[in-house]
Chains A and B, each alone.
Chain A
Amino acid sequence: MMDAGLPLLEVTDLATHFHTQRGLLRAVDGVSFSVRRGQTLGIVGESGSGKSALARTIIRILSKRHTTTTGRITFEGRDLLTVSEPDMRDIRGRDIAMVFQDPTSSLNPVKQVGVQIEEVLARHLGLRGRAAQTRAIELLTSVGMPLPQERLHQYPHQLSGGMRQRVAIAIALACEPKLLIADEPTTALDVTIQAQILDLLHRRQKAHHMAMILISHDLGVVAGYTDTVAVMYAGQIVEQASTRSLFRNCRMPYTAALMRSAPNLSDPPHTRLRAITGRPPDMVLPPPGCRFEPRCDDATDICRNRRPALSASDADGTHRYACWHPVASPGASA
């Protein structure tokens, strides 16, 4: 890679605030990260952590009337927040594509599958008619769709959930984007289908040397398919590391608690789960200090009063966490 040194996407101090009746809701509140070409970044968080809002902010599809966005989103050297809307439309679908959570609602119910694929081809590649159709069939074949030719004239309701998600992926891959944002792409699917779809995304990504942001609430999903992981809590990234380092060596109590609270197949039956008490904070009135403080076992006064910055824990600075009292790392002398 010529520019392997430069990240493809660099997000700096990004904040997205929704205007609600109750006040300003800080869905994304000061988030920074970067994604390199061909890499996969996982973003993990519970519902309400701001991960979907973050994805929609990056491709700028949130309503301008109801949101305020600040910060910088540098994609291939351009700040997406200052790019004009027509230019942004050229980027969406061609350079950055997105796969949504529920394929039942993310495909237009009154349009044939083929039309929905072909309109991206027409929009960005100028392909129309027979050429577009041939390409659409190729795309459907590449996402493992049985009988692709017949699918072109079917409507979404005639397909199963897994197949609909394959169509959504075909649409996303149509212009061979440089970055794919997959927002909980398998949450609405059964486990066996989830495995198929994750595997498909992984293979297509490798084939196109595409960068990917894989958003999920499930640490297990993220563990298997990402290079780096960012953990989000209450609109902020609280820990960020290479996937291996995060799962082997997590420092933020929230990440640790999240890992412990999910039941594990390898544990014997009736193993007591280590639940996190309480609930995520109200994002209209977030706690002034660390946002996890009200639920954290190790919280002290400093946690209540001062917000911890995202700081590096290892020598090369790739493992970073925001915590005053990090979990002891087995390798480090804390």
Chain B
Amino acid sequence: MTSYVLRKLLRLGLVLLVVAAASFLLMNLLPGDVALALLGNEATPEAVAQVRAELGLDQPLLMRYLHWLGGFLCGDLGRSYITQVPVMESILDRLPVTIELMLLSQGLALLIAVPTGVLCAYKAGSRIDQLANAVGLFLLAAPVFILAILLMFLFALKLRWLPSTGYVPFMTDPVRNLAHLALPALAIALAEWPSLFAVLRGDMIKTLQQDYIALAKAKGLGPAFILFRHALRPSSFTLVTLSGLQIAATIAGALVVETIFGLPGIGRMLTGAVYNRDMMLVQGCVAVISVGYVLINFGVDLIYALLDPRVRQ
């Protein structure tokens, strides 16, 4: 186990370096000039040169990278070109909203997917299984922004059960905070559910055909014990991997959902920064989100090893 963790840590370090370098290069190798983008096409060459010097763009690429990487490691991501606010500060300001949204939505998705997946695998082919599959097929075809608009239309605008836009911090008022996050989280969770459900159901059906399940039955164990203590763990490998990879989809979902529901999260900030061509902010957001994504998938690898003794060696 130790050697497995060490190997994964080594890999994590390498991947983080790649991610950092890629975030940097993305912004620095693409055609187009930041200074020109900032000042507009009518800018004088002198003004452009001055801005370039201010931003350090006249330095060689490698120097700029090392400078940026040093800052990145110390949590300094530069300042926004437009508001002049330190990027890290803006990100830390917005991050809690997004993290809460992602935790709620991913938790909700798993909370629905695990019981439904297990139940439908156990009763594969039954009415309830067919129904769940049909629902899954429909939800799979409904993009997250359509779900978000639909939920908003139904529950916020027509039924008026929940607020449509806005945000209240958790510390200020937990109930209103959750009320504001309920629909956005549900929208993402509903979009995530079908794939998590399908994967768990499929793997579970395969597991239930294994001889060790027959042996568990032959031992006289009951169905609940067999399903949750024997079958669930070996059936959840793909689910765990997928829920790590699905974070990417959740991020896309968060971008849209935060925009639709007016949540002050990192996604909405990033979308705004893209419109405003605030490259420093875009770069910072991309770097932070990517690092978070890599760390989550590192955690997933560790969970995987805890679940499956065979991969530890």
Contacts and interface: CB of A to CB of B under 8 A. Distances in A.
A92 B234 contact: no
Interface stretch (A106-114, A286-294, A300-308): A106-114
Interface stretch (A95-103, A191-199, A218-226): A95-103
Interface stretch (A4-12, A26-34, A116-124): A116-124
A55 to B, nearest CB: 10
Contacts of A93: 218-221
Contact of A109 (B125, B218, B234): B234
Contact of B220 (A124, A155, A157): A124
Nearest to B230: A108
B45 interface: no
Contacts of A59: 217-218
A61 interface: yes
A317 to B, nearest CB: 33
Given A155-B309, A157-B309, A157-B310, A106 B214 contact: yes
Of the four ranges (under 10, 10 to 19, 20 to 34, 35 or more), the interface on chain A belongs to 20 to 34
B211 interface: yes
Contacts of A89: 220-222
A65 B216 contact: no
B222 A105 contact: no
B220 A109 contact: no
What does DSSP make chain A's interface, helix, strand, loop or mixed? Answer: mixed
Chain B interface, >50% SS class: helix
A92 B310 contact: no
Interface string B213-247: 01111111110000000100110000000000000
A102 B211 contact: yes
A314 interface: no
A61 B233 contact: no
B234 A110 contact: yes
B220 A98 contact: no
Contact of A105 (B210, B216, B233): B210
Nearest to A95: B220
A41 to B, nearest CB: 18
B219 A123 contact: yes
Given A110-B307, A157-B309, A101 B211 contact: yes
Interface in A50-94: 56, 59, 61, 65, 86, 89-94
Contacts of B221: 89, 93, 119, 123
A92 B230 contact: no
B220 A105 contact: no
A155 B305 CA distance: 14
A92 B219 contact: yes
B212 A98 contact: no
A103 to B, nearest CB: 9
Given A65-B125, A89-B222, A155-B310, A106 B212 contact: yes
A97 B210 contact: no
Given A105-B210, A110-B309, A120 B234 contact: no
A162 to B, nearest CB: 17
B118 to A, nearest CB: 16
Interface string B95-120: 00000000000000000000000000
Nearest to A92: B220
Given A102-B211, A107-B212, A61 B234 contact: no
B308 interface: yes
B289 to A, nearest CB: 33
Contacts of A119: 219, 221
A231 interface: no
A228 B218 CA distance: 24
Given A108-B234, A110-B233, A155-B309, A91 B212 contact: no
A238 interface: no
B220 A168 contact: no
A100 B221 CA distance: 17
Given A65-B125, A155-B309, A108 B212 contact: yes
Nearest to A65: B125
A100 to B, nearest CB: 5
A171 interface: yes
A98 B218 contact: yes
A254 to B, nearest CB: 29
A318 to B, nearest CB: 30
A100 B214 contact: yes
Given A65-B125, A105-B210, A94 B215 contact: no
Q: Determine which residue in B217, B218, B222, B309 has the highest number of CB atoms from chain A within 10 A of its CB, and name it.
A: B218
A90 B218 CA distance: 10
Contacts of B125: 65
B220 A61 contact: no
A217 to B, nearest CB: 17
Contact of B214 (A61, A90, A94, A157): A61
A105 B310 contact: no
Contacts of B216: 108
B231 to A, nearest CB: 9
Contacts of A106: 211-212, 214-215
B186 to A, nearest CB: 33
Contacts of B233: 110
Interface of B: 125-126, 210-212, 214-222, 230, 233-234, 307-310
9 contacts: A65-B126, A89-B221, A92-B219, A101-B211, A106-B215, A107-B212, A109-B310, A110-B309, A110-B310
- Of all A-B residue pairs in the complex, the 8 with the closest CB atoms, nearest first, are A93-B220, A92-B220, A93-B219, A106-B211, A98-B218, A105-B211, A61-B217, A155-B309
